[in-house]
Amino acid sequence: MKKRLIDILVLSAILLTGLGISGGTVLSSYLKYQEYYKENYPEIDPTDYAKLIDYKVSLKEGTSYYANHRAKPVASDFVLLGTFQPNNEEEPPFEAVINPEKRPITISSPSTFSVKGGEVSITCDSITKTMNFALEKVCLDSLEVTAKPYKIKYAVGERFDPSGMEVYAVYNDGSSKRLTKQDYAVKESSGLTKQDTSITIAYEEGGNHAHIEEPIEVVDTLNDGSIVSLAPLKSTYEIEDGQKVKNVEAEILGVYESGNRKLLAQSDLLLMAPSETARLGKAYSLTYAIRNNHQIKVEVPVTVKRRFEGENCAISGGETNAEPEYRYVDGTLVKGEEVTFAGGFAKAVEKGKDGSIKFTFVSYGEALGRLDLRCANSYLEQIDEQYYMAPLQINTIAELLVNNKAINIPDSVMLSGCGPLAEYEPLYNVYSDFSFLDLPLVTGDNTIAIRFKKSSEGALNFWNESPSTMNIDSLELSSMGNPVEEDDEVTSLSFQNNFALHYGDDLDAISLPIIAEYASGKHILMTNEELSIDKPSGKVGIGDIEISAALRSNPDISVSKTFHIGDVILQAESAKKSGSSKVTSATEAEYSYEDQSETNVATVIKGMDNSATNYSGETSLSFSFAGVAGKTGLIVRCDNAYFFDSPYRTEAINLEQCIDIQVNGVSLSFGVALPSIANATNPDVCWMTLFELRLPDVNLRDGENVIKIIAKKDAPRNKWNECSIPRFDYIKLTSPIGE
């Protein structure tokens, strides 16, 4: 505020100086003010206090639009030189480049622009200008050598060896493709001479020629000498999550005194690699040394990756399908193998419903991840009786969330277009790759979701639908991890916050999520191999389970936690029902036994009384569940169906008179009474007052168990002369009696 006030005072002083003198002097004074303004207050934009009255628009230097199916005008392609009128109309207009952060610039172009070019509209402060563009043909521009040949020094008479050299053709639109040895020509004589200081690499495509000179040195006689260092052929090597790190075989070059390099055999090298299993989010490296000279060595980083198939992810508002993939071979679409994918999200998006795909995984450290997607486009257009897939800018049709936090998707993240073709169907199945970079992964559980939306640009495809979908074949997550320095020590251990044990978990197979905190503040998820763990064996039952763990390398650093496994409730409405059509579920108000007031809403199975009375077959409820071997307490929750009125009431009755309970085919002997209800205010109180009845303990087995409640046809009859079979809410597995 202080700067703004000083600014206004300075402006007023300068303008007052100009009053009463010629307009040229006023303009001169104003220009001096602008210079003062920029020098002393560069963070304040003078156009804030002026109205845009006109502007000139030009394409930013170096910007062109090419016929590559990716052409799409955006605001950053243009420079707008605005003419501004200060708020005080007595002040002269001035020119300044429009800052799009201060005055947003919107760009619109025809949906066919990527194929045909056309008129582009540029709008700022309600002023619109237009420019017409013809697409430039994509053609060969130059060659680039991205990896030097192994051999750069030769003896007189030798021939050039391109082994190890990587040559790329670079096109005028900035794209490139790697060339094979058969693609390019090496221009050399029959034998190298000392006058040869470079080799010409040449390539021709579409009538355009490009060449590059690759430096070499030629000497009378050549002695490569000894190996002075090692170098990996690639900057990083990949391994699948869950594979042994030592199974990675990196290709290693020996660098000789001459400067030449040679690919070494694995038998020439000694590999020093961790014996552990590779885990996403952790940092690993391989150390290679010369077998007969361990002093010469090189460290090679390892990238851990994990692939997720689209059809195996959690899909909302979409579907899975399978169709043949089509690939371009020499400019022609060729049918390939069938691809199973997740897609069809646009239908849900158009209806305002959730259309998303997500997957969960564990990262063993805080790291930045890269997500590579392989997808087919949906932005179909028909132009001049031909079909095209227009480039699909991902942030216009989807949002990316990592652990429920939105991640910015740059405008440059695009799914490629393709075409033209007389029929559209193959175009739907041309797959391309794009990537999301630097995704923040946390130690422990992570979730990545892609949520689709209607095109933020209002784009419509051939069917006038938002292109809010893509066929997702696969998603591959990778990370190099965040290395822990050698002198960084573990200071404490803790269980991952959201970790819990559940009834039926296999304690012998479970991987405990124990996180180590280092002195540096880093958090790394420990593998079970790094810990000494004390825990029970077998399946998790009901009750308390204590688990402790300590670092193998330092047993003084440990953690212990007691997990309480609560009751397991098996809802009656989820049981298998046998009997007449009267046996059904109902959600009704529940009543308190103490004061007959409404307390809750319960979903119960009713009608077993009518079925047991009138249905010739068995009336029953079967609860199937994965159990744990051992003695378990059993509770059943139900009402008293022994009903009479005048006034409304129920009579006390032994539950065993009404039902038989079988556990894995063996009948249970029990003698528990259902209480009576007297003077009920209405009949609902009688059949919706529910009681928990403790039955004798039962013996369960590991794996599938079945508890069956069978209605007895000789049960005492109620007011309607029906068998008094209760309504059932649930059965509960609980701690055995005495525990």
- Residue 39's pLDDT is what? 67
pLDDT greater than 70 at residue 28: no
pLDDT greater than 80 at residue 1: no
- Residue 625's pLDDT is what? 96
- Residue 379's pLDDT is what? 92
Cα angle for residues 141, 142, 147 (degrees, 5° grid): 145
Q: Is the pTM of this model over 0.85?
A: no
pLDDT greater than 90 at residue 37: no
Mean pLDDT of 410-431: 90
Mean pLDDT of 524-531: 90
User: In angstroms, rounded to a whole number, what is the distance separating the alpha carbons of residues 601 and 586?
Assistant: 10
Give 33's pLDDT tier (boundaries 50, 70, 90). low
Mean pLDDT of 689-696: 96
- Residue 5's pLDDT is what? 36
pLDDT greater than 70 at residue 40: no
- Residue 41's pLDDT is what? 62
DSSP 483: P
- Residue 83's pLDDT is what? 96
Tokens at residue 598, please?
Answer: 């409404």
- Residue 577's pLDDT is what? 97
Cα angle for residues 177, 179, 183 (degrees, 5° grid): 135
- Residue 14's pLDDT is what? 39
- Residue 424's pLDDT is what? 87
**273 or 207, which is more confident:** 207
- Residue 38's pLDDT is what? 61
Rg (CA), the chain: 38
Percent of the chain with pLDDT over 70: 94
Digit-coded pLDDT (tens) for 57-105: 999 999 999 998 888 899 999 999 999 999 888 889 999 999 999 999 9
- Residue 23's pLDDT is what? 38
* Per-position DSSP letters for 266-316, written without gaps between them: GGGEEEE---SBP-TT--EEEEEEETTEEEEEEEEEEEEEEEEEGGGSEEE
| Nearest in space to 432 (alpha carbons), one of 342, 328, 312, 336 | 328
Digit-coded pLDDT (tens) for 228-266: 999 999 999 999 999 999 999 899 999 999 999 999 999
CB 378 within 8 A of CB 470: yes
Mean pLDDT across the chain: 91
Q: Which residues pair with 525 in a beta bridge?
A: 515
Digit-coded pLDDT (tens) for 356-378: 999 999 999 999 999 999 999 99
pLDDT greater than 70 at residue 658: yes
Mean pLDDT of 301-323: 97
pLDDT greater than 70 at residue 10: no
User: In angstroms, rounded to a whole number, what is the distance separating the alpha carbons of residues 345 and 232?
Assistant: 43
Mean pLDDT of 16-24: 37
Mean pLDDT of 444-469: 93
pLDDT greater than 50 at residue 13: no
Give 739's pLDDT tier (boundaries 50, 70, 90). low
| Nearest in space to 429 (alpha carbons), one of 349, 336, 344 | 336
pLDDT greater than 50 at residue 211: yes
- Residue 11's pLDDT is what? 43
Mean pLDDT of 318-323: 96
